[in-house]
Structure 1
Amino acid sequence: MTTTATGLPTGGPQLVDVPAPDGVLLQGMLLPPPADGGRAALLHVHGKGGNFYSGPSRTLPPLLAPDRFVHLSLNLRCHDLAYSRLGDAAGIATGAEAAYGGMWERLADGPVDIRAGVDWLRERTGLPVVVVAHSAGGYFLGDWAPGPGEVAGRVFLSPLTSVRFPLSAWFADDAALDRARLRAEELVARGQGHLLLPVPAWYFAISAESFLERLAERPDRWLQGCNASPSPLLMLWGGAETRAAAWRELFDRLDVDDRTAVEVPGAGHEYGGAEAAVAAHVTGFVDAHL
């Protein structure tokens, strides 16, 4: 196997393991890096129920100047809706903690996973890193609030800005919501917080611990996290998305000095048919901040 000037493997897309600080191994896809090492490294992270092999994490990297940028699309531990990791290998948990995915998503895990991906790229490339985060990945990127110099830029693609949004679809009224809360609290008190509560819509079940975390989300958590970081940001969304007006209002409340908003006309949440336009905006943002 040959390597680039950075020591990264070449010859085609490579599956890689990225260790999180708590020992969980994250999996990702490294695109063939430029032979000269490239000018920047881009970390792509997906939304809830997503993964590195679908959606913008898959479709955008080949369009984002692969001759100049290193691309790593990373699975957060909340990838897909449910999966298990059994065994005794490094980073593989057993017992109640063996279940991961969107149904078991813990809010504190997302920022840890993103930072692990950033550190992996910085250590292996020595390049400035830009994080490109879609949907719930954008929530965790905002929540992380990287400090000065940790990343060269943040790209929020149709970011989730609150984890409480499904509650109105799941519960008909406050009484139903309160019954679910009491049930979740009972499970957690018995040490069974990993057990699932069924819900009638996306994403159909949620662990008791994850449910209570969503109920306890502080107001403006995402916005405050975004404003706590000085790194430049691009916020992009599709004009056909139902939350377009909400994103425009939130962007106006950002106070990061270097910030840009882009609405892609007619695009939906996955940017089907608009990938080239999205890639052009992201490429321009990265180039402008190197």
Structure 2
Amino acid sequence: MTGIREVLRGELVSIATDTAPLDGILYEPDGGATAGAVILFHGNTMNFYVGPPRFLPPALVAMGFACLAFNRRAHDVLSVRGDKGRMEGGAFQTTAQALADHATAADWLAARGYPAPVVIGHSNGGMMAAPHVAARPQTPALVLLSAGAGGPARTQREGLLAGPRLPEVRARAEAMVAAGRGDELMLLPGWWYVITARSFLDRITTVPDILAYAPRITCPALYVRGDAESEATFPGEKFRQLAGGPCESVVVPDCDHFYNGREAEVTMIVADFLRRRVVS
């Protein structure tokens, strides 16, 4: 039997934007894609070579899919590209930039002959996948892997990033922006610990609410979360109820947000869904 390693072939790509390019890998099966394509959206402060964008492509390529895994401009927490030390990364991200990066990558993939890819998004990448797919009804399927519920009101209520010090941190960020220091870094008491003032305010006011987008998503959908994740924060069951098309939700036992040690099981769940909903 042909092994996954034998059919996996990747091309390093660089996708132009109006600022820094999106770097990634396009994996294509030997002999060409027979099942279409998949585009993978990574989570907050992650990148294309960790988590689902790393461990899913071998199995998907073996099924006949081409796979694009790429970095948004907001990859990792902080990075430099050699442009006179100019920093980039998750500390600078905005919702508008993430949505633009996803659209740009999808357009690039369409120009390569894959106009309607399956969309797979992990964590924040899943949250941002909801509006992306709602605007693209031609999408053949959507896979949300531990996508956060999102929504500005909920984000502020839970005090994400700032923890219990949300009022204090928000006031400091607003003062920095008002003083023209919005792109300066500030420390946070919680994940992911460092961010610009402008990005922090964007995080707590603009993140999409995936449940609000669910009725507009009519393609087959799958929501996966680990049992160590709260259903209130990662609302797979509620998303399934509200989805505008056929939707499945799966809770993986003994599993955390990053699927550590459960990569094989998550891969099997995703592959089975795509085999039934897209390939067959």
Same fold (TM over 0.5): yes
Unaligned residue ranges in structure 2 (runs of 5+): 1-6
| Cα distance in 1 between the residues matched to 2:272 and 2:179 | 52
- CA offsets 1:60-80 (integer angstroms, 9 cap, x no match): 111224251111111111110
Q: Is the 8 A contact 2:229 2:257 kept in 1?
A: no
Partner residue of 1:276 out of 247, 258, 264: 264
1:13 equivalent in alignment to 2:10? yes
Instruction: Say which SS state the counterpart of residue 277 (structure 1) adopts.
Output: helix
2:52 to 27, 31, 56: 56
Identity, in percent, stands at 31
Q: CA RMSD of the aligned region, Å?
A: 2.7
Residue 278 of structure 2 corresponds to residue 289 of structure 1: yes
Partner of 2:35: 39
Question: In the alignment, does 2:201 pair up with 1:212?
Answer: yes
Pair 1:243-2:239 in alignment: no
Distance 1:120 1:34, change over 3 A: farther
Counterpart selection for 1:190 from 161, 165, 179: 179
SS class of match (2:264): helix
CA contact (8 A) 2:223 2:240 kept: no
Q: 1:169 to 1:53 in 2, by over 3 A?
A: closer
- Secondary structure, counterpart of 1:126 in structure 2: coil
Q: Does 2:98 correspond to 1:110?
A: yes
Residue range with higher mean Cα deviation, 249-258 or 198-207 = 249-258
Aligned to 1:6: none
Q: State which of 72, 75, 80 in structure 2 corresponds to 1:76.
A: 72
Q: Distance in 2 between matches of 1:120 and 1:18?
A: 7
2: distance between equivalents of 1:168 and 1:215?
8
Could you list the per-position Cα deviations for residues 121-159 of structure 1 after superposition, in whole angstroms to 9, with x for gaps in the alignment? 222123630111111111111233443444222110011
8 A contact 1:148–1:231 mirrored in 2: no
- Using the size of structure 1 for normalisation, the TM-score is 0.81
Distance 1:196 1:227, change over 3 A: farther
Shift of 1:253: 4.8
Instruction: Give TM-score, length-normalised by structure 2.
Output: 0.84
CA contact (8 A) 1:41 1:71 kept: yes
- Cα pair 1:144 1:225 within 8 Å, conserved: no
The alpha-carbon distance between structure 1 residues 105 and 284, as it changes in their structure 2 partners (threshold 3 A), is same
The answer to whether residue 119 in structure 2 is matched with residue 122 in structure 1 is no
Question: Number of residue pairs matched?
Answer: 267
> Which residue matches 1:91?
none
User: Which runs of no fewer than 5 residues in structure 1 stay unpaired?
Assistant: 1-9, 88-93
| Partner in structure 2 of residue 29 of structure 1 | 25
Report deviation, 1:182: 2.4
